[in-house]
Amino acid sequence: MGSIPPPKSERKPLHQAIPPLILGTATFNSQYVSDPFNPEILPALSIVSRTLELGINAFDTSPYYGPSETILGDALAHPVNAKYPRSSYFLVTKAGRIGGNEFDYSPSWVRYSVYRSLERLHTTYLDLVYMHDVEFMSPAEVLGAVGELRRLRDEGVIRYVGISGYPVSKLCDLAELVQAESGESLDAVLSYSHFTIQNTTLSTSAVKRFTAAGVDVVLNASMLGMGLLTTRGADAGPTAAWHPSPGELRGKVKQLVSVAKEADEKLEVVSIRWALDNWSRDGASLGGTSSRLPEGTRVGVSVMGVASVPELEETERVFHSVVEGLNIKPSSPEVAEAHAWSLQRRKKIQGLVEKMWAVLGEWKDYSWDSPEPGFVNTRRTEDFGIVPDDGVMARHQGSK
């Protein structure tokens, strides 16, 4: 299952440890596919194996994503992937969100959730753990939960600590609060659906605030707006039942599909290329490092969600091209040619996206409410901190 990570004093900063492209496994869930356990519908083992073969050595999951942790853990532990030791890949999960409107940020639940994730992922440690969807909880609860993650870090159970959520301003507020109240900055902040062709809120002003709060790495997830920015859109498949985008915005996105087709492109390809390319540069000061670039060069970190091997390979190919565009000192004529092609592609995509912004109009940079007005945590106050009697706590606390 892997060895215990080094103590805090010996750990390098997160930006030196985290790769710039991460496989997100929210798609290993019935919210995105009809039957995530059916390999004909979701070939999870093939996706994970191919991810490792491509050199993408980082995975993001969460207990909130239904069976995602279990499916991912079983795929990583499968004999076909035995040649990849635990130390060769970076594991990320989350804690605190139990269900749609159910949250528990109490220290005992956070600890239980992390221990359970260890078992599901077949590992003795986690590289990075976020408190999940922090906008749903009070600042005091977030501070307390981050404190518990840091205690687990100091015990060697996890390596780095962060928060995730939807409203960018709230993430900035909480990053600043954690720094001010604890005297220690967050290692990471995960933002989703806020650096896309439809919503660019995770931009210069947010990066400046996160930098001032001492955050080391800011990650951009859900480049397709949780399935909204695709040819299929949010009105088809399992997303139709839960996607929070309003009908008028969905209608605008259907128009974007036509704009893409007129340019002989697919909306999802344009969306992924634009987000990967622009965040690689706009998020570079808070990014990770790539072995394909000179040592010390930082690249904005992106989390990609896929549900098939072809989607994975296409996204990796696009990211590879993006990195080639960042290489300002080509080492050979072939590299110089790839660099020039990447810049040409960037120019074409940017022009197309600007046409799409004109179509979006007032819906550009629109963010839906999170939480929705009237949100009530369905977890009863008297149940906070009560964990299942399933042996998880006993197995891990008893091993100390």
What is the distance between the alpha carbons of residues 390 and 400, in angstroms, rounded to a whole number?
18
Bridge partners (DSSP) listed for residue 90: 58
Tokens of 363: 């819906």
80-88's contacts with Cβ under 8 Å and 24+ in sequence apart are 80/45, 80/49, 81/48, 81/49, 81/52, 84/52, 84/57, 85/2, 86/1, 86/2, 86/3, 86/123, 86/124, 87/2, 87/3, 88/52, 88/57
What is the distance between the alpha carbons of residues 25 and 68, in angstroms, rounded to a whole number?
6
SS3 82: coil
Q: Are strands 288-289 and 298-299 parallel, antiparallel or unpaired?
A: antiparallel
Q: Which residue out of 32, 65, 125, 130 is catalytically annotated?
A: 65
65 catalytically annotated:
yes
What is the distance between the alpha carbons of residues 100 and 262, in angstroms, rounded to a whole number?
39
Tokens of 40: 């004909």
- The residues annotated with a catalytic role in the active site are 65
